A = this chain, B = another copy of it.
Amino acid sequence: MPSLLLDKNKCLGNIERMSRTASQHHLGFRPHFKTHQSAHIGNWFREFDVSSITVSSFQMAEYFARSGWEDILVAFPFNPGEITALNRLLDISRISVLIDNREALMQMHRLKKPVHFFIDIDTGYGRTGVKSDAEETIHQLITDASERGKLIFSGFYCHAGHSYRAEGQPEREEIHMKALTDLGRLKQQFREHTPLVLYGDTPNCSTQNDFRGIDELTPGNFVFYDLFQSRIGSCGMEEIAVAMACPVAGKYPGEGRILVHGGAVHFSKESLNIGATPVFGQMVNSSGKGWVNSGPEYYLTALSQEHGTISGGNALMEDYRIGDLAYFLPVHSCLTANLMREYVTLDGLRIGTMNS
């Protein structure tokens, strides 16, 4: 069956570089743990003096709180269905939440302890958050919160996720600079509250050099990177720290197809277009205990539940026997890791996740 290989050295290198980016700019580093979802891998961050983290659900917050993390931001707009989970967690960790609307705020009853919150700011991504120019709304949220007690305004959070769909680095830089400008203006405008500014998507945190006004970086994907990030220039192929190992199960020379055991329940159906073709993974070659990217490019071009198809692979037919492992860089490592629920290091150590 397929397994998700993890090159620990590449992973530690990725953590180290991002940690250095943060310290060079005198920023806090609050990495997002949604990518690896693993207490074991989380502990690797402690070597880099990380003590506060970001997660994307209360379920994840609970897992990491029970793994000893004492400062956790749940970076998903709070909804009152989570009050019970929040109260339970407040006994063991400092939990911060994300707010972007008054309705959720006004339903935050029955808090056992004071809760810090960040206001989610939308600088153009258009997924969540208060629009960065809606100062009146932001003012109202801060006022409402202070009148309710137990809700402590900590600052602003921004995920400029439109960096992922930018057409090239100049547009990405424009997105980044607009976010810095907008967040800087809000920081100034609400300075009486000494707001912290939390920011950080992997593309911008990996490539930008200006973070003025930011207090903490919160990227997540960089821990592994993936094919998508390498395509948009966030990383080199050699920095991608995970690869799928999939048994070859069929060869169809007449049609140039190779079948591997590795499908949508392993890779996820996230694709990226190379030319006009959606691909789900790029083949790499095994090398010693790990893998290298070399030679002609082969892609997974079709996935069903358990099946993965490499097209145009006639030249590969001789190289692979049925049962051999073929290696692939996943398009979106967060979703692949979530599905695989276990890593195997190059030394054969099995590492679990919150879903193991």
Is A52 located at the chain interface by the 8 A CB criterion?
no
Chain B neighbourhood of A251, CB < 8 A: 101, 103
Q: In the bound complex, do residue B247 and residue A79 qualify as a contact, i.e. CB atoms below 8 Å apart?
A: yes
Which listed residue, B57, B247, B265, B302, touches A261 by the CB 8 Å rule?
B57
Is A339 located at the chain interface by the 8 A CB criterion?
yes
Per the CB 8 Å criterion, the residue count for chain A at the interface is 53
Question: In the bound complex, how far is the Cα of B323 from the Cα of A57, in angstroms?
Answer: 14
Who on chain B is nearest to A78 by CB?
B249
Q: In the bound complex, do residue B1 and residue A322 qualify as a contact, i.e. CB atoms below 8 Å apart?
A: no
Question: In the bound complex, how far is the Cα of B289 from the Cα of A51, in angstroms?
Answer: 44
Question: In the bound complex, how far is the Cα of B355 from the Cα of A247, in angstroms?
Answer: 21
Is A140 located at the chain interface by the 8 A CB criterion?
no
Min CB gap A36→B, angstroms? 13
Q: In the bound complex, do residue A335 and residue B265 qualify as a contact, i.e. CB atoms below 8 Å apart?
A: yes
Say yes or no: A334-B305 contact (C-beta < 8 A), given A58-B1, A104-B323: yes
A271-291, CB under 8 A of B: which get 1 and which 0? 000000000000000000000
Q: In the bound complex, do residue A76 and residue B268 qualify as a contact, i.e. CB atoms below 8 Å apart?
A: no
Min CB gap A219→B, angstroms? 13
Chain B neighbourhood of A77, CB < 8 A: 249-250, 259
Chain B neighbourhood of A304, CB < 8 A: 127, 161
Min CB gap A234→B, angstroms? 17
Is A128 located at the chain interface by the 8 A CB criterion?
yes
Q: In the bound complex, do residue A103 and residue B322 qualify as a contact, i.e. CB atoms below 8 Å apart?
A: yes
Min CB gap A262→B, angstroms? 11
In the complex, given contacts A1-B58, A131-B254, what are 11 additional A-B residue pairs having Cβ atoms less than 8 angstroms apart?
Answer: A1-B59, A1-B82, A79-B249, A79-B322, A80-B322, A101-B251, A107-B322, A127-B302, A128-B250, A265-B335, A305-B335
Which positions in A face B, CB cutoff 8 Å? 1, 34, 56-59, 76-82, 100-101, 103-104, 107, 126-128, 131, 161, 247-251, 254-255, 257, 259, 261, 264-265, 268-270, 302, 304-307, 309, 321-323, 334-335, 338-339, 341, 355
